[in-house]
Structure 1
Amino acid sequence: MTYTPKSDFVAVMMERGFLADCTDYQGLDDALISGVRPAYIGFDATAKSLHVGSLIQIMMLRWFQKTGHQPITLMGGGTTKVGDPSFRADERPLLTEAQIDDNIAGIKKVFSAYIDYDTDAPNKALMLNNAEWLDSLNYLEFLRDIGRHFSVNRMLAFESVKSRLDREQSLSFLEFNYMILQAYDFMELNNRYGCILQMGGSDQWGNIVNGIDLTRRTIDHEVYGLTSPLLTTSDGKKMGKSQDGAVWLNAEMRSPYEFWQFWRNTTDADVGRFLKLYTELPVDECERLGALAGSEVNAAKVILANEVTTLLHGAGAAAAAEATAREVFEKGGVGDDLPTLSLTAADLGDGISIVQLIVKSGLAKSGKDAKRLISENGAKLDDRPLTDAGSRILVYQSTDGTMRARLVASDGELLEDKDLSSWKLSAGKKRHALVRLDG
């Protein structure tokens, strides 16, 4: 790419690695230097939280506002009812309207940490829901006014659709309409709010181009599209996933400590790139930190974890997570900020198996995973290896009236006896949870 950007926003996108493609660099640049302009990214409500895979788009909206323009966060209350088929092997499960509304409520919690919706400045962010205009569409009018602008031949040629058909996997008529609805969103946002730019991941390129064409054909307005690369880690894994599942952005679905730990565990080769994308540190500092090698790169990973966690959860949460990590990993102790499972004597009843405990703490997805963890010597209780998948925790009252807990092997052997306070449960070297046993 030899293009030299004129606008601050395009310069940031190119310099920090956000940019995969743009429909018209020159036209977009000229529009952005002529005044405050709106741009949008759409987020369908398929879960109660977005995950780390969406963070690159959230940061794009943040930078758009920081460079003086107006970001629009578009909730897909309407499009979620259809489901985006882009590069999917099967149809998304259909959600009820109540489920979609519930998911939108959860997703909205994250955005205010990154984007200012309350400023009195001209670039005040907007949060909209496309159900506002999609729910009231008249089908016949929509076909006549909008559908006539779409060529089925061209739609079938888009890679997101073509790849599905080439694999002879079914594409429902419902899903096929998704790209038309997304195109309609862009036209509607341009008509209502003067929105000139749609952004998204590179898998959205075809949908974005459709919106540009529709806007030009129906209201003869010039609009633009810009995409970010679909990120994978240096070892080929999809961004947003970890060993124990999706890295959710909502604190109730992924604790600030677990979120911090995800970034602290970044592969050495990804540190510099992730610093540019997910923090606001100067680019030259990101490059300096990313070039560190050996044990020094661990300090860069801590900076990455602190910066990203501060943006989402605040500086206090980042500091607490770092303190917990130091307590757990450097001193071998139990940190206060570890993910915590609280159990009472009543919860335990006649006892709880160590396999159930590992699953309840979130360190394994299933009993089968927990048993495999134990068989591979990856499970520990208070740093003591757990080797017996049949062991159980039993609660009893001692002679002095205090409640105590016993860890008993499957053959009845007493492995540990302690008061009802807390135990550190570990899965491997990097994943820990605190089990509080309350009387």
Structure 2
Amino acid sequence: MKINGILKDLKIRGLISQITNINSLYIKINKKPITLYCGFDPTSDSLHLGHLIPILCLRRFQLFGHKPIILIGGATGMIGDPSFKINERILNDKDTIYLWTEKIKKQFFNFLDFESKKNSAIILNNYNWFNSMNLLSFLRNIGKNFSINKMINKESVKTRIIKNNIGISFTEFSYNLLQSYDFAYLNKMYNVCLQIGGSDQWGNITSGIDITYKLFKNKVFGLTVPLITNKNGTKFGKTEKNTIWLDPKKTSPYEFYQFWININDDDVYNFLKFFTFIDVLDINIIREKNYNLNILLKYKKILAEEITKIVHGKKSLNSIKRIIKSLFYGSIEKLKEKDFINIMKSGIPLTILKKSISLKRFLVFSKISKSLSISKRLIESYAISINGKIITKIEYIFNDKDRLYNKYTLIKKGKKNYFLIYWKK
């Protein structure tokens, strides 16, 4: 059978890792739009880069006319998913999970349409149905439908069990039951027939398909998207220094943009398919061109701009472009006050000062130079500029005119090394 529509789009983009009964699912989708869901446990106060592919897949489905549901795991987040985790998760308290839930709920509005008349996205929380369920009802009505033998043989559980020094608690072992019931509940209450998730969720998804059929005799489907890892095997979006968060307060839009500019050259082609909505035919033309450094940089910029605009909006992207243009092409005067807030979070070395000092002493204080004599030579050789203006006066002292927006001063050493001063009152 020839597959068209959303499933074809996902397939040619390489976004289908595993799928149950693709022909039957295609027939169902082809008859009329479906409702699907993806679950996200609130394990932090922000979503991160690892969440992007399933979120963007929900958006792709919505653009094809289907109705997406975001399921936040207020209940499952209190248990902890053991899937391919080396150690037991730390259990967070109810209040913390509630606060994290409220924060990440807001982030989904950047990606999905919640005001569409035909297929508006909705956000649900599984705490709402598990909180009212008592233990005996859960064991009798849900637990009896699960085989311990099958659960033990699931890869995510088996991996933990064979490591005798780690093992798995009953709490995490029961996670599979909770997530599976989510699928059945959503099928009954919202007519959900498809669950999507990362490839590490395959076992939980297939269990949900089984229990939905056992409880309601309804056939539902599962689809997983690939999990992307770095060359060292760590999850994509986790650098040596930190995680790339979607919250601009945790990872600035400038840092986010630079992350994409610095990805491995071999990943550019696939990431354009995974993380953007550029037509695949256009992306294929890119691949056919002879790669050189200039072409790769061009398409890294396209990737960085597209995904930054999706995650942080057009205004943030324009701010980043102003910063780059100002820092590297000498247009400091075009920087806005909000741009400096972005620069402060960008990783550029920052020095906080209360009182004015000489430029020569500042260079030593901020470790730009090792001594006053080296500072003198840097100034004499026209290597230091303040807010884009080269300073030649050896005994130069900072003054009020050097403070952009009364707070910021940009120092440049050589052609590319920038340093920021924040003047604290």
Fold similarity call, TM over 0.5: yes
Counterpart of 2:222 in 1: which secondary structure? strand
Offset of residue 167 of structure 1: 2.3
Distance 1:23 1:221 in 2: 14
Q: CA offset at residue 394 of structure 1?
A: 6.5
What does residue range 367-386 of structure 1 map to in structure 2 within 5 Å?
none
Partner of 2:108: 111
Q: State the AA in 2 paired with 1:436.
A: Y
Residue 270 of structure 1 pairs with residue 256 of structure 2? no
**1:153 corresponding residue in structure 2:** 149
Q: Cα distance, 1:252 vs. partner?
A: 1.7
Higher mean C-alpha displacement, 101-110 vs 230-239: 230-239
Which of residues 27, 30, 44 in structure 1 aligns to 2:27? 30
1:295 matches 2:294 = yes
What whole-Å deviation, never above 9, does each CA across 1:407-432 have from its counterpart, x for those lacking one?
Answer: 43899955596447435599xx9997
The Cα of 1:104 is off from its aligned counterpart by 1.1
With over 3 angstroms needed to count, the CA separation of the structure-2 counterparts of 1:434 and 1:199, relative to structure 1, is farther
- Rounded to whole Å, the distance in 1 between the matches of 2:416 and 2:48 is 20
How far apart, in 2, do the equivalents of 1:318 and 1:100 lie? 31
Asked whether the 8 Å contact 1:424–1:432 carries over to 2, the reply is: yes
Q: Contact 1:86/1:204 (CA < 8 Å) preserved in 2?
A: yes
From 229, 240, 251, the counterpart of 2:237: 240
Q: 1:341 to 1:280 in 2, by over 3 A?
A: closer
TM-score, structure 2 normalization: 0.83
- Is 1:128 aligned to residue 89 of structure 2? no
Distance change >3 Å, CA 393–CA 231, structure 1 → 2? closer
Partner of 2:74: 77
The aligned length equals 386
The code of the aligned residue for 2:217 comes to D
CA contact (8 A) 2:349 2:420 kept: no
Aligned to 1:317: 316
Matches within 5 A, 1:208-357: 208-233=205-230, 236-290=233-287, 291=289, 292-331=291-330, 337=339
Q: Distance in 2 between matches of 1:313 and 1:338?
A: 17
Which amino acid letter does the alignment assign opposite residue 157 of structure 2?
V
CA contact (8 A) 1:393 1:407 kept: no
Q: Identify the structure with the greater helix proportion.
A: 2
Match of 1:137? 133
For 1:338 and 1:218, locate their aligned partners in 2 and report how far apart those are by CA, in whole Å. Answer: 57
How far apart are 1:5 and its partner, in Å? 1.3
Cα distance in 2 between the residues matched to 1:67 and 1:287: 22
What SS class does the counterpart of residue 200 from structure 1 fall into?
Answer: strand
8 A contact 1:257–1:338 mirrored in 2: no
The residue type equivalent to 1:104 in the other structure is T
Q: In the alignment, is the contact (CA less than 8 A) between 1:234 and 1:270 conserved in 2?
A: no
> Is 71-80 or 408-417 further displaced after alignment?
408-417
Identity between Structure 1 and Structure 2 (%) = 37
Alignment of 1:416-427 (within 5 A): 418-419=398-399, 421=403, 422=408
- CA distance, structure 1, for counterparts of residue 203 and residue 157 of structure 2: 9
Q: 1:85 to 1:408 in 2, by over 3 A?
A: same
Please state how far the C-alpha of 1:435 moved relative to its aligned partner: 4.0
Question: What is the CA–CA distance in structure 2 between the aligned matches of 1:212 and 1:431, rounded to whole Å?
Answer: 56
Instruction: Provide the C-alpha distance between the structure 1 equivalents of 2:263 and 2:82, rounded to a whole number of angstroms.
Output: 30
Q: RMSD between aligned alpha carbons?
A: 3.0
Change (3 A) 1:297 1:253: same
Contact map agreement 1:306 1:319 (CA 8 A) in 2: no
Separation of aligned partners in 2, 1:143 and 1:197: 25
Give the letter aligned to residue 5 of structure 1: I
Deviation at residue 197 of structure 1 after TM alignment: 0.4
Task: Write out aligned runs for 1:158-173 (5 A).
Answer: 158-168=154-164, 169-173=166-170
Correspondence 1:4 to 2:39: no
AA aligned to 1:11 is: K
Per residue, is there more strand in 1 or in 2? 1
Once residues 92 and 303 of structure 1 are traced to their aligned partners in structure 2, the CA distance between those partners, rounded to angstroms, is: 38
**Equivalent residue for 1:408?**
365
Matched, 1:39 2:36: yes
Give ranges in structure 2 of 5+ residues lacking alignment.
377-396
> Whole-Å Cα distance in 1 between the matches of residues 142 and 411 of structure 2?
57
Contact 1:276 1:283 in 2 (8 A): yes
Return the alpha-carbon distance in structure 1 between the equivalents of residues 353 and 67 of structure 2: 58
Q: How far apart are the structure 2 equivalents of 1:29 and 1:338?
A: 50
Asked whether the 8 Å contact 1:62–1:114 carries over to 2, the reply is yes
Structure 2: which amino acid aligns with 1:309? Answer: T
Q: Deviations over 1:348-381 (max 9, x none)?
A: xxxxxxxxxxxxx684xxxxxxxxxxxxxxx967
- Structure 2 counterpart of 1:265, one-letter code: N
**For the residues of structure 1 that align with 2:135 and 2:187, how far apart are their CA atoms?**
22
Residues 435 and 130 of structure 1: CA distance in aligned 2, closer, same or farther (over 3 Å): farther
CA distance in 2, matches of 1:202, 1:322: 35
| Residue segments in structure 1 that go unaligned for 5+ positions in a row | 343-360, 364-378, 382-391
Q: Deviations over 1:262-315 (max 9, x none)?
A: 112122111111111111111122233345422221111111111111112222
